[in-house]
Amino acid sequence: MSLAGKKIILGVSGSIAAYKAALIVRGLIREGAEVRVLMTPSATDFISPLTLATLSRHAVVTSVHSGESWNNHVELGLWADAYLIAPATATTLAKLAQGLCDSALVAVYLSARCPVFFAPAMDVDMWLHPATRQNVEKLQSYGNHLIDVDSGELASGLVGQGRLAEPEAILDVLRAHFNRRQDLAGRRLLITAGPTHEDLDPVRYLGNRSTGKMGIALAEAAAARGATVDLILGPTHLSTSAPGVTVIPVRTAREMHESALDRWPMATDGILCAAVADYRPESVAPEKIKKTEGDFALTLIRNPDIAADLGRDKRPDQFLVGFALETENGIENARGKLERKGLDLIVLNSPRVPGAAFGHDTNQIQLIDRNKVTSFELKAKREVADDILDRLPPNRTP
């Protein structure tokens, strides 16, 4: 598949490999893409903005503001179908990872809603340094795509990893992205995510450590593969504005239960990723509970079971996925939940695995159905989301 009609931003940072940006722009234009080029100030020491402006047929942006004019980084970030940063130096990787917004390149990155690809270029020891490795991993955990370095002779005279990938290889990555499968087109997914909060009084609640990152990653990945997604999201500071995703904010388990049951008849598939409170206070105090002498007893009552109720109402043409967070006897407990609640697949993870479960950008899962257990290594939650979505069955006839 060609790149004809695609809107591509190319961000160029200050590396000796910046000369390859001209070849990248030429390749994109030759395939019919529309290209806008951003350059860091240091990049202009290695290749002229005039060269890239001539090849791209558009003025090159080197600053958020240029003299009297204002370059709207938000508008540019919304315009693009993909943002490619090549070459990405060690400094640029660090700024992107930390959100240090001191250039048009980083400003547009922070505003972009499109997929972001970054192709590093630096000397071998810089590439292998733990700080660089950590920045690369952090960028990948945000859902950005690494175009890995090549090995060979470097500008320093050393031989090793760190060379910018060849322009044609970079274009191949973009072609593959735009040719990605739309295997979920026509499907409507119901996804729950985040925690629930159960009120004790006007200022306190029972909750948990869920941030909603895994569920949001699932929603964005499903939409990218063509699905329409209803994301029922508990109280969290995170959200998504991805095209194809409708966010339904809720607060309590009962609100999430009601929203899920309302939308389940329209769904083809459900993924219940939320960390829903099993219990809530029997009564909510109308005023703040004051501290008194002695202990305080709290009576809790059961919340409705979203997974069990959706599993009970599941049609033969619907597929239901649940999550199990377990600290012991994980596979046994997850299989029991799978059977009791009428699930088709269950995702098992554990907070005891470093970097997994609540609050992390990564997760390590096992997928369990009635026939087998499939284990995965620790990886970015967006990649985990695709592993889960890969297990949805092909389109079914009701």
Binding site, residues?
278, 288, 323, 337, 341
DSSP string, 315-348: -TT-EEEEEEE-SSSHHHHHHHHHHHTT-SEEEE
Please answer whether residues 194 and 234 qualify as being in contact, where contact means their C-beta atoms are separated by less than 8 angstroms: yes
Q: Which residues are annotated as a binding site for CTP?
A: 278, 288, 323, 337, 341
Please answer whether residues 281 and 198 qualify as being in contact, where contact means their C-beta atoms are separated by less than 8 angstroms: yes
Rounded to the nearest 5 percent, the helix, strand and coil shares of the chain are 35, 25, 40
Nearest-angstrom CA–CA distance, 337 and 342: 8
Please answer whether residues 102 and 136 qualify as being in contact, where contact means their C-beta atoms are separated by less than 8 angstroms: no
Those residues whose C-beta lies under 8 Å from the C-beta of residue 93, and which sit 6 or more positions away, are 118, 120, 132, 135, 136, 139
Q: Which residues pair with 191 in a beta bridge?
A: 231, 271
Task: With CA atoms as reference, report the closest residue to 145 among 167, 121, 114, 122.
Answer: 114
Known active-site residue 371: no
Nearest-angstrom CA–CA distance, 138 and 170: 21
Active-site choice (208, 329, 371, 395): 208
Give catalytic residue positions: 208
